[in-house]
Amino acid sequence: MKDEAMIRLALECGAHAAAVLPAGQIVRNAEFREMCRSNRCGVYGRCYMCPPDVGEIEDLMHRLEDYDRGLLYQTVSPLEDSFDVEGMARAREEMTALSQRLLDVLPPLTGSHALHLSCGGCGLCRECGRVSGEACRHPDRALASLESYGIDVYNTARNTPLHYVNGPDTVTYFGMVLYGEKNNG
Ligand code: SF4
Q: Would the CA dihedral through 136, 9, 75, 22 be positive or negative?
A: positive
Tell me, using a 6 A CB cutoff, whether residue 46 lines ligand 1. Answer: no
Neighbours of 101 (CB within 10 A): 16
Q: Could you give the CA distance from residue 116 to residue 102 in angstroms, rounded to a whole number?
A: 9
Atom number, ligand 1, closest to the C-alpha of residue 48? 5
Test site for ligand 1: of 44, 137, 141, 145, most ligand atoms within 8 A of the Cβ: 137
Q: Could you give the CA distance from residue 17 to residue 47 in angstroms, rounded to a whole number?
A: 28
Nearest CA to ligand 1 atom 8: 128
Range 134-138 contact pairs with CB under 8 angstroms and sequence separation of 24 or more: 136/48
Q: Give helix 85-105 / helix 2-12 axis angle, nearest 10°.
A: 140
pLDDT at 185: 44
pLDDT at 120: 87
Atom number, ligand 1, closest to the C-alpha of residue 138? 1
How far is the first Cα of the chain from the last one, in angstroms, to the nearest whole number?
Answer: 12
Q: Could you give the CA distance from residue 47 to residue 144 in angstroms, rounded to a whole number?
A: 10
- The closest alpha carbon to 49, from 115, 119, 122, belongs to 122
Tell me, using a 6 A CB cutoff, whether residue 125 lines ligand 1. Answer: yes
Mean pLDDT by 10 residues, the chain (185 residues): 93 98 97 94 95 97 97 97 93 97 96 95 95 97 97 98 96 97 67
CA of 46 to the centre of ligand 1 (A): 10
pLDDT at 109: 95
Domain ranges in the chain are 2-178
pLDDT at 122: 93
Please give the model's pTM, rounded to 2 decimal places. Answer: 0.95
Atom number, ligand 1, closest to the C-alpha of residue 129? 3
Residue 161 CA: distances (Å) to CA of 22, 41, 146:
14, 28, 18
Q: Could you give the CA distance from residue 13 to residue 156 in angstroms, rounded to a whole number?
A: 22
* SS3 of residue 123 by DSSP: coil
φ, ψ (nearest 5 deg) of residue 164: -75, -35
pLDDT at 45: 95
